[in-house]
Structure 1
């Protein structure tokens, strides 16, 4: 669902989040793997994990290493897994491409430059980059929080990406599955499309005349 008017010719560039927009993710698979290794209940570990955790966010900004993040997880979750076991579970979050998105990106790329902007970490980047190279190949550039040191929905993150793309924010349509990220983008002048399924992407492209 779009929160800003879209019309043919409204955009000079399209900017896509990756998780739940281009790549399908399932955190339950992460926790299930860790619980299996630790001999714990899935619900117990899931209740302790927090996306707002300081170490999680610092990992996504490239401020701490995978090893430091996993050390923080040992304390947070109260389990003694090896780095390899943590990494195994951590990468199980990726379960494939979002259904129907690849042909939409292929179509859009013939008309406008496509970019991606993801809050992610080095371990995930190393994992998903080769496995999903085909669909990711539609993007001229992929901005990663762990590389640029900035995360959505921080204003500086959007400003950095807009400057790098080189067109006015008002001419960039941004697709993301999180309402807070859409709000952050709109506050910096981008056109936001809240994605709940590939139908939202398809509808936006049609509205743009693509």
Structure 2
């Protein structure tokens, strides 16, 4: 039934940055969820969206995010939250990707930031590159000027993989990004935890992934 499994990256193959956001807010005495709320207001055209499409540079992003968060009750500099985005790879999800790859086409659609926006620590960049090499095709928002949930980015992926959307499984940790994929006909899995996602993926593919 299925021919391809398409993955989000952050929050799926890595731990969610939301945990880091919460720690940052608590340490700074900021209102709970101020970062996530800033990201969701006008989510198609806010500072975050523009930065992920590489429409603004880091200085402009820093200023715009500060203005947008202040409007919600507390100023948070954009530059201060960028280091919070580098989650840890989930080894069990990477192993599942390896097993999936043996049977299915694989793709990754990631809303990311312009190169060097976050920086790297130690050998992490090489490790990430090894994981990215497991995909048949990768689409990065900052490289193409489009980001999820724009339906065009999903269409680009199915065209690149030469598959029908109905033959695809798509995993993402954000419901807003799953909706367009589901509307195209994909089977979607919302990643709440690695364990839950793997159970649903095993049920859908019939493979043992752990």
TM-score range, shorter chain: 0.7 to 0.9
> Do the aligned partners of 1:56 and 1:69 also contact (CA within 8 Å) in 2?
yes
> Do the aligned partners of 1:116 and 1:142 also contact (CA within 8 Å) in 2?
yes
Give 1:66 deviation, angstroms. Answer: 1.9
TM superposition score normalised by structure 2: 0.76
Structure 2 residue runs of 5 or longer lacking an equivalent are: none
Match of 1:20 in 2: 11
Match of 2:30 in 1: 42
Give 1:99 deviation, angstroms. Answer: 5.4
Closer, same or farther: CA 125–162 of 1 in aligned 2, 3 Å: farther
Is structure 2 residue 58 aligned with structure 1 residue 66?
yes
What do the CA deviations read for 1:159-180 (whole angstroms, capped 9, x no partner)?
Answer: 1222122221111211112222
Q: After the TM superposition, which residues 120-159 of structure 1 pair with which residues of structure 2 at under 5 Å, given as runs? A: 120-122=112-114, 123=116, 127=120, 129-159=125-155
Cα distance in 2 for partners of 1:198, 1:32 equals 21
Give 1:137 deviation, angstroms. Answer: 2.8
Structure 1 residue runs of 5 or longer lacking an equivalent are: 1-9
Kindly tell me the number of residue pairs found equivalent between the two proteins: 194
Give 1:45 deviation, angstroms. Answer: 8.5
What do the CA deviations read for 1:148-204 (whole angstroms, capped 9, x no partner)?
Answer: 222222222211222122221111211112222222101112222222222323432
Give 1:126 deviation, angstroms. Answer: 5.8
Greater mean deviation of Cα atoms: 99-108 or 193-202: 193-202
TM superposition score normalised by structure 1: 0.76
Give 1:30 deviation, angstroms. Answer: 4.8
Give 1:207 deviation, angstroms. Answer: 3.2
